[in-house]
Amino acid sequence: MIKYIFTYLFLTFIIIQAQDYIKLSPLENKTVKIDSIKIVGNEKTKEFIILRELTVEPGDSVNYETLQYNKERIFSLGIFTRVNLRIKHEDGFNKLIIQVEESWYIFPVPFINVPEKTFSRVSYGINFYYLNFRGRNETIKSTLSFGYDPFFSLTYKNPVLIPSADISFLFAGIYSTPINKSPTADSIHGGNFDFRTSGTQISFGKRLNLSNDIYFTIGYSYTEAPSSHDAPIMASNTRIDRSFIAGVSYVFDTRNLKQFADEGHLFSADYVYKGIGNSKISYSIFAVDIRNYRKIVGDLIFKFRAAGRHTFGRKVPYYDYSILGYNFYTRGNRYLVREGNNALIGSIEFGYPLLKEWNFKMSLPVIPNSLTRARIAVIFNVFADAATTFNNGDKLLINDFNSGYGVGLTFLIMPYFIFRAEVALNEMGKGEFLLESGISF
């Protein structure tokens, strides 16, 4: 009898506790006014890092869609393995409870990059991350790369250097000896060759509001060719290009989940001028990226991207030409290298979640729980890409575009890792298999 009494009391307690939480459904447009906000689970993360991502504050009314959007904005910080938003009715007031589970913040990530079909030009190395430094979502990243493109880089990013003014800060430094990627420069040199480069960059950003940011950048760039015979390749007509640089960027971003959005828009524009302090160098780089994400039927996602890069000035060096086949490419023509002053690329993609959201967790001896937690999703994609390059003064012709289309799977193990496996055909019907890190766009 006592056993049943305790069981009854326990179940009654659970039911009463469950009734304290207000359930919002995607099937109805019910709104609830929130009176306060409470964050739990942030053992290291400062509360203002989370609060500044919210589109709501005490006194606002929210519905299911609002809570989901804000959940994804918080997860987009990349420092949590799980985020949950619920509304609790307590003492006559509605409290928004934001529950987070923090990820592991210090870890190495090995990588391998095969920019061409041959493994003789493979790059490999390791990224060292220190995320959420001081609990302020600061990132310290160091990269060591060997093989085809050896380099060492160090980056420090602080998204809230001055909280009262919403000022961010970025410092980056790099030293590398990269293989030349311009076919024209190879012809001038007489074969493959390495540059020796180094540079630093300092950026200050200002968040205008939740969707709009502007950044100002200054830096120094040094690029050295092997010999004086390579002067035609360089901007200064000598074997060494050195100058200070300055730039400005604008970003409009309303995406919900930055790692893999299914709602929102992105527009970014970047302008960089190179040649400050060197009268022999004077040229500019301008880039634009436009993206749109939306659900069209149920969980079926439509994505669109149009991007372009334009170089102009007294003399643009071949190492700063717009080149397809490396960071930018059409799936189906992954290893086709093309160059010009300008590049255009467009993509459309349909995605459907085979596994929408699985909050994986397990407990292992010795290993911290934050290393055995992840948000996992698997997305099936159908895509089509098109891109071209052309020089200033050339006509832009449709027949000059290369294209590709295909299907693939995107695996998201957030916040740690994302990779894709895709099969693509180019405009000639020739196929290729791609295994790439990160999302397509």
The CATH number of the domain holding residue 43 is: 3.10.20.310
The confidence score (pLDDT) of residue 4 equals 45
- Whether 75 is in a domain gets the answer yes
- Whether 233 is in a domain gets the answer no
pTM score, whole prediction? 0.88
The confidence score (pLDDT) of residue 114 equals 73
- Whether 312 is in a domain gets the answer no
Instruction: Note the pLDDT tens digit of each residue in 27-45.
Output: 788 899 999 999 999 999 9
Number of domains in the chain: 2
> Which residue type, as a one-letter code, is found at position 420?
R
Write a three-state SS string for 57-117.
Answer: CCCCEECHHHHHHHHHHHHCCCCEEEEEEEEEEECCEEEEEEEEEECCCEEEEEEEECCCC
Q: How many residues does the chain have?
A: 441
Burial of 326 (0-12, 13-18, 19+ CB in 10 A): middle
- Whether 381 is in a domain gets the answer yes
- Provide CB contacts within 8 A for 34, sequence distance 6+: 56, 58, 59, 60, 61, 62, 87, 94, 95, 96
- Whether 295 is in a domain gets the answer no
Instruction: Note the pLDDT tens digit of each residue in 203-232.
Output: 999 999 999 999 999 999 999 999 999 999
- Whether 125 is in a domain gets the answer no
Cα–Cα distance measured from residue 210 to residue 55, given in angstroms and rounded to the nearest whole number: 8
If one counts every other C-beta atom within 10 angstroms of the C-beta of residue 172, the result is: 17
**Domain boundary residue, one of 41, 71, 102:** 102
The confidence score (pLDDT) of residue 16 equals 42
Q: Determine the structural domain holding residue 20 and report its residue range.
A: 2-102
The confidence score (pLDDT) of residue 358 equals 94
**Domain boundary residue, one of 73, 102, 131:** 102
Element counts in the chain: helices (H) and strands (E)? 4, 24
CA 141 to chain centre: 15
- Whether 187 is in a domain gets the answer no
The confidence score (pLDDT) of residue 119 equals 65
The confidence score (pLDDT) of residue 109 equals 84
- Whether 258 is in a domain gets the answer no
The confidence score (pLDDT) of residue 220 equals 98
Instruction: Note the pLDDT tens digit of each residue in 375-386.
Output: 999 999 999 999
> Which residue type, as a one-letter code, is found at position 129?
Y
Cα–Cα distance measured from residue 426 to residue 12, given in angstroms and rounded to the nearest whole number: 63
Which residues of the chain fall short of a pLDDT of 70? 1-19, 115-120
Q: Residue written as tokens 């092997």?
A: 226
**Domain boundary residue, one of 102, 117, 152:** 102
- Provide CB contacts within 8 A for 376, sequence distance 6+: 355, 357, 358, 359, 360, 411, 412, 413, 414
